[in-house]
Amino acid sequence: MKVIERKYLENLFDQLKEMGYDLFGPTVHDGAILYDQIESANELPAGWRDKQEKGTYRLEKSGEPSVFAFAAGPHSWKKFLHPAENLLWRAQRTDDGFKVLKDPEPKRKKAFIGVRSCELNAILIQDKVFLNGLAVDASYQALRKDVFIVAVNCTHPAGTCFCASMNTGPGATKGFDISLTEVLDGDRHYFLAESGSSLGDDVLIDISGHDALDDEIATGKKALEDAVGKMGRNLDTTNIKELLYANSESPVWDEVAARCLSCGNCTMVCPTCFCTTVEDKTDLTGQHDERWSKWDSCFSLEFSYIHTGPVRSTVRSRYRQWMTHKLASWIDQFGTSGCVGCGRCITWCPVGIDITEELAAIRNNQTEKTNQI
Amino acid sequence: MEETNYNTETIVADPMVPTLYRVENYVKETSDTFTLAIAPSGSAAEIKTAKQKQLDAAPGQFNMLYVFGMGEVPVSISASPAGGGLLTHTTRDVGSVTKALSALKVGDMLGVRGPFGTSWPVERAVGKDVVLVAGGIGLAPLRPVIHELLARRNDFGRVVVLYGSRSPADIIFKNELKKWKAQPGVIVYVTVDRGSTSWHGSVGVVTRLIPKIRFDPANAIVMICGPEIMMHYTVDALKQRGMSGEDIYVSMERNMKCAVGFCGHCQFGEHFICKDGPVFPYDRLSSLFRKPEI
Ligand SMILES: Cc1cc2nc3c(=O)[nH]c(=O)nc-3n(C[C@H](O)[C@H](O)[C@H](O)COP(=O)(O)OP(=O)(O)OC[C@H]3O[C@@H](n4cnc5c(N)ncnc54)[C@H](O)[C@@H]3O)c2cc1C
Ligand code: SF4
Ligand code: SF4
Ligand code: FES
């Protein structure tokens, strides 16, 4: 493990730029932490922290120099790997029909700086969907290729976080090239850096710093351990798949449906939600067609439409579909939960619906039923 | 911007990019149903690759058919090139894309992606009685099975085809039904929901025929394709006759945008209908089947 003082963090940025990477990281915009292209460590959200609760998100000044002292914001890295809108191909009329044209995939290499452990797990989950299935998603593959990941171990979880319950954090254990733990210790501000790949080794070697001392390692470790206790939520995953499969007719679905606006915010902010629809955009001449894929949400009525009508016409069935997919059927489909405990869906739900509370309600209802028998 | 013309033999397989086909033959089956026989278009090499792909298509599989500017829909293969003829689809015009498909003429171009999904268990049926139960357009996805059963007639026991249609005018594949009926050891029953003055056949839902047919429930494979409610009652009637759910196969339908497991639209419980289906042994679905709004 290597210690990089705050002033040398810029080395990491320079190094990656020199290797031809475009850098992306957290920035402050419109009162939230958003992921955007950045050039320098000085653009990181120094001195900001977030307050998150059901239906609320607030950034405030912490008075401290930390640059990663916040949890997940409304953006996730999926916006770069699985963009909200993606041109699949274009078609153009010809004399005797039409031809299909595919634009080349972008070739610039990307480095993601400040990827939380929950988000890293979300990326690995989307890898399973788009790369390890029956077919390979060519667009995703092109965007995912050559991504350099600088993970940040999370020492400042939010009130809506529960990655510890989902086994996806707060420390990054796999899937990164370099991981950083930010430490503020008296006057000192440094990062404990660990390499997770040979490429990570190469980058770290050239950055000014020293081999971590035992007490530095211990300080970082403690900060991470303390983080577990700072999480505002937890979710009991015991027999979760069986629980949800057995409770498809739970009265809890009716209760949550009475509050849910079916707005789909939860699916848009979720870093693992992958559903898309396709749209044809024809121009006025009728000579060109563009076929786009776009994020879609299982909360929309059209999502399940077949010519006899929508399969899931009630909000109850759509919320049930979303939560049962996230927490149960995902396990059958991809061998992992579809939830990484990032808390975004709780924070960004306009009416404050909380997946951890709803699951607990289903569990309680089931327990009551069992006790009655 | 530099662009690649994607309809060339050298392409990396992007499963979302269609192959170009042309309509070779158009048969109007009924007032709202039509059959398109199509062939790949392009250079000799492109045609060869495209043909190879569809030659492996098994009965029960489907393709995504794209009409320029209109969109793309899943349609089952209703005759497979494996039988020596052209790739064929039979479609009912129910909405915007199927209407656009119906408006295509011989020589017109369309895009094809596929074949996708699971197939009917023809090999499992060898040495057994085979009962096919179709409702409406559901006869189309079963037709390649009938072709194969007839081509290898001695491999199978009794062959029974039960077909329910809304009315006599809605019956598809009329001439073929007659031909099948004429084969030795093949029973074909057609029933309609509403009869007409010239209709002398059976009237009533197709499930009502199940108690009457002769087959060995202990040594049979049943394949059902039709509206979910019809498949539900058919399974009930077959269970009454002592069939076990593992020998009954159904073909499911859900909204589909990609056919390869990316878009999430076709989920039915833990199953993706596009890749785990559309054909399932009934036992795999029994806990979900007919559960409202799954
Ligand atoms: C595996 C599979 C095989 C099929 N095989 C056949 C076949 O052999 N013959 C046939 O006539 N029909 C078949 N269908 C149904 C056919 O796909 C729909 O009738 C068609 O999608 C309707 O599209 P539309 O644009 O004309 O209708 P609209 O009502 O305008 O539909 C709008 C959109 O909703 C979706 N949609 C609507 N109905 C369905 C549906 N039933 N299934 C899936 N998506 C739907 C489509 O994305 C469609 O573009 C099959 C469906 C599936 C899933
Ligand atoms: S379901 Fe909610 S908590 Fe879980 S990964 Fe998605 S947004 Fe995060
Ligand atoms: S749970 Fe909340 S965010 Fe999700 S669809 Fe319902 S109201 Fe919208
Ligand atoms: S049709 Fe897209 S996942 Fe099945």
Identify the structural domains of chain B with CATH numbers, from first to last: 19-116 (2.40.30.10), 123-285 (3.40.50.80)
Q: Where are the alpha helices (H) located in chain A, listed in sequence order?
A: 9-18, 78-81, 117-131, 138-144, 163-166, 198-205, 214-230, 240-246, 252-259, 265-269, 315-324, 330-334, 344-347, 355-372
Give the count of beta carbons closer than 10 Å to the beta carbon of residue B184.
6
Q: Going by CA atoms, what residue is nearest to atom 8 of ligand 3? A: A263
Report the distance separating Cα B283 and Cα B287, nearest Å: 8
Q: What is the pLDDT of residues A305-362, one digit of tens each?
A: 998 899 999 999 999 999 999 999 999 999 999 999 999 999 999 999 999 999 999 9
A274 vs B: CB within 8 A: yes
How close is the Cα of A357 to the center of ligand 3, in Å? 14
Q: What is the pLDDT of residues A10-31, one digit of tens each?
A: 999 999 999 999 999 999 999 9
Residue A323 structure tokens: 């939560």
A328 CB neighbours in chain B (<8 A) are 270
Q: Which of residues 211-230 of B touch A (CB under 8 A)?
A: 227
Residue with tokens 């991504």: A147
Compare CB distances from A282 to B20, B69, B270 and report the shortest one's residue: B69
Find, in chain B, the residue whose alpha carbon is nearest to that of A241.
Answer: B270
B262 CB neighbours in chain A (<8 A) are 129-130, 133, 135, 137, 274, 276
- CB–CB contact A91 B15 (8 Å): no
- CB–CB contact A93 B264 (8 Å): no
∠ CA A250-A252-A254, nearest 5°, is 95
pLDDT of residue B3: 43
Closest ligand 3 atom to the C-alpha of A262?
5
Residue A145 structure tokens: 């290729």
Q: Going by CA atoms, what residue is nearest to atom 2 of ligand 3? A: A349
- CB–CB contact B262 A100 (8 Å): no
B111 vs A: CB within 8 A: yes
Compare CB distances from B262 to A103, A137, A311 and report the shortest one's residue: A137
pLDDT of residue A373: 64
* CA-to-CA dists, residue A315 to A307, A312, A321, B105, B293, angstroms: 20, 8, 10, 42, 10
CA dihedral A215, A221, A226, A229 (to 10 degrees): -160
Q: Which of residues 106-165 of A touch B (CB under 8 A)?
A: 129-130, 133-139
Which residue out of A78, A125, A132, A275 would a mutagenesis test of the B interface target, given it has the greatest number of B Cβ atoms within 10 Å? A275
B289 vs A: CB within 8 A: no
Instruction: Tell me the β-bridge partners of B63.
Output: B75
B157 vs A: CB within 8 A: no
Q: Which of residues 293-352 of A touch B (CB under 8 A)?
A: 293, 296, 298, 303-308, 311-314, 316-317, 321, 325, 328-329, 332-333
Report the distance separating Cα A143 and Cα A153, nearest Å: 24
Q: Going by CA atoms, what residue is nearest to atom 2 of ligand 2? A: A345
**A373 exposure class (CB count in 10 Å sphere: 0-12, 13-18, 19+):** exposed
- CB–CB contact B255 A311 (8 Å): yes
- CB–CB contact A275 B264 (8 Å): yes
Question: What ipTM does the predicted assembly reach?
Answer: 0.95
Find, in chain B, the residue whose alpha carbon is nearest to that of A314.
Answer: B293
Closest ligand 1 atom to the C-alpha of B91?
11
CA-nearest of A176, A188, A205 to A6 is A188
Closest ligand 4 atom to the C-alpha of B263?
2
Which residue out of A78, A86, A306 would a mutagenesis test of the B interface target, given it has the greatest number of B Cβ atoms within 10 Å? A306
Residue with tokens 């206790």: A229
Q: Is the CB of A99 under 6 A from ligand 1?
A: no
**Minimal C-alpha gap between A239 and chain B (Å):** 16
294 residues of chain B, pLDDT tens digit each: 344 444 433 344 799 999 999 999 999 999 999 999 999 999 999 999 999 999 989 999 999 999 999 999 999 999 998 878 999 999 999 999 999 999 999 999 999 999 999 999 999 999 999 999 999 999 999 999 999 999 999 999 999 999 999 999 999 999 999 999 999 889 999 999 999 999 999 999 999 999 999 999 999 999 999 999 999 999 999 999 999 999 999 999 999 999 999 999 999 999 999 999 999 999 999 999 889 999
Give the count of beta carbons closer than 10 Å to the beta carbon of residue A238.
7
B267 CB neighbours in chain A (<8 A) are 321, 325, 329
Q: Is the CB of B64 under 6 A from ligand 4?
A: no
373 residues of chain A, pLDDT tens digit each: 999 999 999 999 999 999 999 999 999 999 999 999 999 999 999 999 999 999 999 999 999 999 999 999 999 999 999 999 999 999 999 999 999 999 888 788 999 999 999 999 999 999 999 999 989 999 999 999 999 999 999 999 999 999 999 999 999 999 999 999 999 999 999 999 999 999 999 999 999 999 999 999 999 999 999 999 999 999 999 999 999 999 999 999 999 999 999 999 999 999 999 999 999 999 989 999 999 999 999 999 999 999 889 999 999 999 999 999 999 999 999 999 999 999 999 999 999 999 999 999 999 999 888 887 6
Instruction: Tell me the β-bridge partners of A32.
Output: A29
Please name the amino acid found at residue A142: A
pLDDT of residue B135: 97
A336 alpha carbon, closest ligand: 2
Compare CB distances from B20 to A100, A277, A280 and report the shortest one's residue: A100
State yes or no: cis peptide before B211, omega within 30 of 0: no
* CA-to-CA dists, residue A105 to A35, A133, A141, A142, A310, angstroms: 21, 21, 10, 6, 35
Burial A145-162 (b: 16+ CB within 10 A, else e): eebbbbbbbbbbbbbbbb
Q: Cβ(A153)–Cβ(A170) under 8 Å?
A: yes
Q: Going by CA atoms, what residue is nearest to atom 8 of ligand 2? A: A342
| Three-state DSSP state, B62 | strand
Report the distance separating Cα A369 and Cα A373, nearest Å: 7
Q: Is the CB of B29 under 6 A from ligand 1?
A: no
Please name the amino acid found at residue B81: P
Q: Cβ(B122)–Cβ(B113) under 8 Å?
A: no
**Minimal C-alpha gap between A12 and chain B (Å):** 33
How close is the Cα of A359 to the center of ligand 4, in Å? 27
**Minimal C-alpha gap between A297 and chain B (Å):** 9
pTM of this prediction exceeds 0.80: yes
- CB–CB contact A248 B291 (8 Å): yes
How close is the Cα of B255 to the center of ligand 1, in Å? 7
How close is the Cα of A263 to the center of ligand 3, in Å? 5
